[in-house]
Structure formats: C-alpha cells, structure tokens
Amino acid sequence: MADEPTLPTLPPPLPVGDRKKRRRNLDSPPTQSSASSDPAFFSSDDDPALDNYHHNGRRKKRYVGTWFNQQPASSDSAMGEESLPSYPPPRRNRPPQPQKREFRRQLDSGVWMGTEGSLTDTDDSFDLEPAAAKFPVASPRTKVLVSAPPTFSPQELAAQRIARTCVERGTEQVDLSSLSLETVSPEVVKLISEISPIPTVTRDVAFEQRDPEIQLYLSQNLFRSFPTAILNLEHLTLLSLRANNLDQIPPAIGKLTNLEALNLGQNFIRVFPGEMLNLLHRGSKLRNLGFQPNRFWQPDTTIATADTIATTTARSDEYDNLTYPNRPTTKLESSWSGMTTKIHSRSAVQFMDGTHQTLSRFALPDIPGARGAPIELESLTSLAVPKEFAPKIRQSTTPTNKAFNPKGARSLFELALRAGITSPQVEEVRAWALHAEDAPRHFSPVVERAVKIHREGGVRCAVCGRDTLIPMAQWVEFRRIGRTTITVDADGKEVEKFTELGGAGEELPVPFLMVGCSWSCIPAKLEKEVDVKGTT
C-alpha cells in the first residue's frame, strides 16, 4: 500500500474579492434563452475561452494576425475598451504584400486573365500584366491603315492566268513564251507546282497515280538573270530558256536532276557552272541539250600543242578519276543513252586567298569580248602554282596518294560572312560594307559576291562537294558535249560509244567553271606519256 501513487495537490483557490465582476449593459435588450444544444459561437478559433456569443445584443469580435500574434480588428464589441487585451508589437516589419488580380474570363479568347485592383489568394511569386484587347477598336476619328494588296504587271497576271488554267485542266505543258517576262514570281511557281496530271481511266486496268512531268517553256522573253524560283520545281522534265538575255547560269541548276531536255541557246552565256556536270554524267536523265549560239569563252589555240589538248578517251577518264574521286558513279543494269562530256583541255588554275585576291599569275577575265575571251590553256601534265604553295604539291597517279585535304577548317572571315548574309539584316551589312569609311577595301566586293552566291543557291567545291562562299581556287575545263550510248553484249560486258554533237571538230568545246574550296581541291597532275598518239 505504501507504493500506491497519490494525486498531486490542487492549487489554492483565488480569493473572492480579487475577481472582477462583469457589468451588464442596461440598454441592451434582455437575453433570450435558447434550449438549443448547439455549441456557442466564439470570437476566435484560436482562443475559445473568450465567451463572446453572437446574438441580437452583441456582435462577434474579430481578430486579425497569425495564431501567435493576434490583434483585434476593431473595438466595437460587447466588451469595453478597457477589456481589450494588449499585444506586443510584431516581431518584424513585413513588406507590404502586392495586390493580386482576380482571374476573370475574356469572352473573345476563353482565357482567364487578371483584372486591375482585384485580390486573390494565389501564389505571389509572379504577377500578370493586364491583357490587351485582341482587336483594338478604333474611334471614328482614328484612321486605320490597311496594307494595299500587291500589284502585278500585265505580264505577271497573264502568266498567273496561264498557270492557273494548267492547274485546273491538269495540263503538264506550261507555255509562258513571248510574254515579255523579266522574272518568274513565286506565285507562278507555286501554281505550277500544284499541277496534278489527270490519269487515263481504262476498263479492267488498275488506277495508278503518277508524278507530274512538267514542261516549262520560257523562250523569247526578257530575262537578264536566270529565274531562280523555278529551281524549286522538283518534277521539271523540260526547260526552255531560248532567246533571252541570260549571261550566266546559277550553279543550283544541278539540282534539277529530273530534266530530260534543256535549251539554253540564243543567249549571252560566257561559261557554264561546274555543277551542271551533274546533269551530264553516266546514268543521268538528260537526253537533249541545246546550248548554241552563246558567247562562250574559247580556248587559246594559238600556243596549244599536241600535249596541251587531250582528246582521247583514255586520258579523259584518267583525268576525271584522279581529279574527282568523290564524284558519284551510276551502275547501269541495261542499255543506256544520254548526254555526257569528254575533257578537251584545261586552263591554268587561279589561286586566291581568303579575301578573294589573286595570288597566281593566271586570272580569269572579267569582261569577255564579242565572241568570247580566249583562255590560256595549260597541259594536263603540268600545274602552275604560287611559290608559297609549290612544296605542298605532290605528283601522283593514284587517288590514294593524292594530296587531298578538302575538310579543312573554315576561316573566321568566312564564318562571319556566312552569318551576316543569312541574317535578316543582310541589306544593312551590304550598305555598311559599301559606304563605311572604316571598312577594308576588299570587304565590299567579297560581301557582294557572297550575297549573290547565297541567293543563287550556293556554290559547291568541284572536288570534294563542300559548299563555300569564298572559293580559293578556280579553273576552266573545256569539254566536248555529246551523246553516249552504252550497250551490254552477250558476255555482260559494256560497250560504250561517244558521238560528239555536230560531228567531230565541227562544234567548239564548251567551258565549265570549276571552283575549289581550298588549295588542296585542285586538278590532278597527269604523268607525261612517251607516245601521245591520238591527241590533236
């Protein structure tokens, strides 16, 4: 029994005289008794000891603040001012909280956006700006500027009308000849690209949809530059630009690999781009090519020797295999006939630096003559190079031993130039290069050339195929254009026959401008032969 726990002693009771008596307000109506068993409404959930009931004679006392630092919101309560509890000052001065916007729905967009001056209990880490009206309402005095629709010339409207008719009828032959056109707008090209041929429906034959074979005739117009918009026509099979004022062809013409017929005669073309050889190789689809008359550059045969002009098939194939080892070849499974070229002669190589300044003795002419400027030729067994580049040349007869480094790093000047011409501020760059007093002397011509190359679809190195804006080397190859027929005999061996257009010796060779992205991408140097029979 001694180990039994005992209750703690109670605290002494408070004296009766120290208790404060609550005084009743005599002006208030008598308290109405209620037999309800519902609990009383207290003035605060945090302090239920305050018996501040809510009935007719009294109002609920409101508190504000946190649970550890509450303060009465006002003194209009049933208790007197003397009964208001005193609280210590706040522990810290908090910055004023920003007002929040109440999210309301905008009828025109279906998005809940905030309104000015409204409060909300959302996170205060961000604030929303008032939403602007989707369609501004102009006052009667305000003048609304409406952009005028684009205006087209009568020639352009006629071309659009013809192209639209071809789209409606499914006609693949688009004849825009003799319309005095100076260019082909993107609107016309878009209409031509939408042409879909109407298939022939035959009984008991399955329906088959084929790709269009667009034939575009642009002869006898006023083109001074090649209409680059037509280069986007993927299914273009025939293109005629005969009898215009063209003086050059863009390198991007090599992208039209579906061409079967091309007519560029009766113009003022000086030289074809090297990329055009993509249409004149073994296995290509090009069957007909018209290129005369034009003002082509011609080889200077006054100092030519038998070794300078290589006309035999053996030397031509050897030169192509050594100079262009990365050029794709097509394997034929059956007989084939198409347009190809054979090397006739080659000019010297013009070496340039990063600012397009010529470093070699030889340079291509800028202004051709009436018939075409004569180009100095160089033997395929020799290669004139600048003195500072001479130690880097290696004579070889196999592609594996050739000094070939086409993937060198681009210069910082070319990278900056590429970023400038592809930016939206390209016109500002051109204006600064042309009129700025502190701009280098060579900068303006290089920028103009780079902008022109970019707008014409780019230029690729003839040896390695890499695109470039600043060619480091260029030369001209004179080639004979003819038709090659390949047949397969009974033993599976290919028999090739090359027939020059117009007959042997009647047609002059056609120049092709080849460019190299570096000093390593240059023509191959062939070894001299003891016997050069068959050369002329």
String of DSSP letters for 108-127: TT--EEE-TT----S-TT--
* 384 and 348 both lie in a single domain: yes
**CATH number of the domain that residue 161 is part of:** 3.80.10.10
- C-alpha distances (whole Å) from 5 to each of 1, 2, 8, 12, 519 are 9, 8, 9, 22, 107
* 264 and 328 both lie in a single domain: no
Distance of alpha carbon 518 from alpha carbon 473, whole angstroms: 7
- C-alpha distances (whole Å) from 189 to each of 108, 160, 218, 219, 222 are 38, 9, 13, 16, 18
What is the predicted pLDDT for the residue at 520? 84
Distance of alpha carbon 218 from alpha carbon 227, whole angstroms: 10
Is residue 274 one of the residues assigned to a domain?
yes
* 265 and 401 both lie in a single domain: no
* 237 and 371 both lie in a single domain: no
- Structure token pair of residue 152: 């087209």
Please state, as a whole number, how many other Cβ atoms lie within 10 Å of the Cβ of residue 219.
Answer: 17
**Contact between 344 and 299 (Cβ < 8 Å):** yes
Q: Which domain holds residue 528?
A: 303-406+461-536
- Structure token pair of residue 229: 């918009």
* 336 and 352 both lie in a single domain: yes
* 376 and 253 both lie in a single domain: no
Distance of alpha carbon 322 from alpha carbon 346, whole angstroms: 14
What is the predicted pLDDT for the residue at 286? 92
* The last residue of a domain, from among 267, 295, 323: 295
What is the predicted pLDDT for the residue at 1? 53
Distance of alpha carbon 237 from alpha carbon 4, whole angstroms: 114
* 336 and 366 both lie in a single domain: yes
Distance of alpha carbon 352 from alpha carbon 362, whole angstroms: 11
* The last residue of a domain, from among 235, 260, 295: 295
Is residue 352 one of the residues assigned to a domain?
yes
* 234 and 309 both lie in a single domain: no
Is residue 191 one of the residues assigned to a domain?
yes
Is residue 425 one of the residues assigned to a domain?
no
Is residue 434 one of the residues assigned to a domain?
no
* 332 and 372 both lie in a single domain: yes
* 270 and 309 both lie in a single domain: no
Q: For each of the chain's 536 residues, which pLDDT tens digit applies?
A: 556 677 777 777 666 555 555 555 555 555 555 455 554 444 445 555 544 444 555 566 677 777 777 777 765 544 444 445 555 565 566 666 666 666 565 555 545 555 444 444 444 444 555 555 444 444 555 455 555 566 778 899 999 999 999 999 989 999 999 999 999 999 999 999 999 887 777 777 776 778 899 999 999 999 999 998 999 898 999 999 999 999 989 999 998 999 999 999 999 999 999 999 999 988 889 999 999 889 999 888 776 555 556 445 568 888 888 888 877 777 777 788 889 999 988 999 999 887 778 888 889 887 555 456 788 888 888 888 887 665 444 444 333 333 344 456 677 888 888 888 888 888 887 787 777 777 777 788 888 888 888 888 888 899 888 888 888 899 999 999 999 998 877 777 888 888 888 655 556 789 999 999 888 889 988 887 655 444 44
* The last residue of a domain, from among 241, 262, 295: 295
What is the predicted pLDDT for the residue at 157? 92
Is residue 21 one of the residues assigned to a domain?
no
* 497 and 350 both lie in a single domain: yes
Domains: count for the chain: 2
Residue 58 DSSP one-character state: B
pTM of the model: 0.67
Which stretches does DSSP call E strand in 431-528? 459-460, 467-468, 473-488, 494-500, 510-516
Is residue 114 one of the residues assigned to a domain?
no
* 266 and 401 both lie in a single domain: no
Is residue 12 one of the residues assigned to a domain?
no
- Structure token pair of residue 382: 């020799």
User: Position of tokens 């230029």?
Assistant: 459
Contacts of 328 (CB under 8 A, 6+ apart): none
